[in-house]
Amino acid sequence: MDEETLQAALNTADVLCAQRGVRFTAQRRRVLELVCRAERPVGAYEILGQLHTGATAAPPTVYRALDFLLEQGFVHKLETLHAFIGCTHPEHPHASQFLICADCGRVKELESEAVAGCLRSAAQETGFHPKRPVIEVLGTCAQCTHKAKKV
Amino acid sequence: MDEETLQAALNTADVLCAQRGVRFTAQRRRVLELVCRAERPVGAYEILGQLHTGATAAPPTVYRALDFLLEQGFVHKLETLHAFIGCTHPEHPHASQFLICADCGRVKELESEAVAGCLRSAAQETGFHPKRPVIEVLGTCAQCTHKAKKV
DNA sequence: CATTTTTCGAAACATTATAACAGTTGTGCG
DNA sequence: CGCACAACTGTTATAATGTTTCGAAAAATG
Ligand SMILES: [Zn+2]
Ligand SMILES: [Zn+2]
Ligand SMILES: [Zn+2]
Ligand SMILES: [Zn+2]
């Protein structure tokens, strides 16, 4: 995420938190910034390592901040990677799909209503009531596929 | 998985391993049996706890067996639960979807080609080459939804 | 039966996540 | 303002999950 996008994301978070009456503390802001600034998904302990803000920091510090950001929909958790990524459109709740490149490690967030709807239908056919769909695809991104062909 | 289904699963595994020229050792067989016998997904350490087969057993013992069973497609790993479940149709490779009931903990394995295809399309539209899709839906199963309504 | 490959045992270690409790800070109200 | 209360944070310890490594045992190979 580039600097401009980052600032926009932080501003959006500010506004949304105000609207929702929740506190966007310095700590939470800092964690969101670290997650968004990263080119790739970041693990909790990786964030922790970058949090040396004068005082120390322990795992719960990071996990609490992440829990908050997840609740507010500012970040997503990638279950297959045990890592976190900034959301690209936090203003509305959504079921998204993640394309994870095993080569470069970059992740693209899709928001295909077709996929979401299809899965919802398939689930509901069996009488199942979906709450939280987790859709993550491991593979190779366009860029890396292209590179591989050239070599 | 009931006793009959279990025996069928073990036999299928036997046959497939023979066909594939891989060894279905007593250890692997035992782990598969434990996974299949469970009503719900089981964690690696849970299996480990039930493996007191005279000799001791350490984590690698279980993880090695599980790796083998995963490769052969006899079990699946549920990433959101860090747990394993026996596959209901191990004879052919497949991309499946899992419906995980947050209430009773039971998991249903779907094999919807519609869902798989839809996701594949969405991914490929962006130039992404899917390798391993992970689709897990947390929610409430038909049975538990029904029970909840009665109360 | 010697050689080679695969599997298994065992100990230590690495990573991810949570529990529990005390202190601190912010917020609303009289 | 000064207090009460809730939310947030610091700290320590611990749980749960997963891996590395090395060497012994067992099985396939010839
Ligand atoms: Zn998102
Ligand atoms: Zn890539
Ligand atoms: Zn299956
Ligand atoms: Zn249920």
The per-residue pLDDT for range A64-119, each reduced to its tens digit, is 999 999 999 999 999 999 999 999 989 888 999 999 999 999 999 999 999 999 99
Among residues B3, B16, B6, the alpha carbon closest in space to that of B88 is found at B6
Q: Is residue B91 part of a domain?
A: no
Per-residue pLDDT of chain B (151 residues; tens, 9 = 90+): 889 999 999 999 999 999 999 999 999 999 999 999 999 999 999 999 998 765 678 999 999 999 999 999 999 999 999 999 999 989 888 999 999 999 999 999 999 999 999 999 999 999 999 999 999 999 999 999 988 777 7
Three-state DSSP string of A9-43: HHHHHHHHHHHHCCCCCHHHHHHHHHHHHCCCCEC
pLDDT band at A51 (very low <50, low <70, confident <90, very high): confident
pLDDT score of B57: 85
pLDDT score of B87: 95
Nucleotide nearest to A48 (CA to C1'): C16
Same domain, B139 and B80: no
**CA–C1' A67–C19 (A):** 16
Contact of A82 with chain B, judged by CB distance below 8 Å, is answered with no
The domain of B11 spans 3-86
CA angle A139, B81, B71 (to 5 degrees): 50
Rg of chain B (C-alpha set): 17
**CA–C1' A56–C22 (A):** 17
Same domain, B77 and B9: yes
Same domain, B57 and B119: no
Q: Is residue A31 part of a domain?
A: yes
Nearest CA in chain A to B146: A127
Q: Which two tokens stand for residue A149?
A: 């062909």
Same domain, B58 and B104: no
Rg of chain A (C-alpha set): 17
**Please, which residues 20-39 of chain A have a Cβ atom closer than 8 Å to chain B?**
none
Alpha-carbon distance B142 to nearest alpha carbon in chain A (angstroms) = 5
Mean per-residue pLDDT, A137-148: 93
The rounded distance, in Å, linking the Cα atoms of B102 and A6 is 35
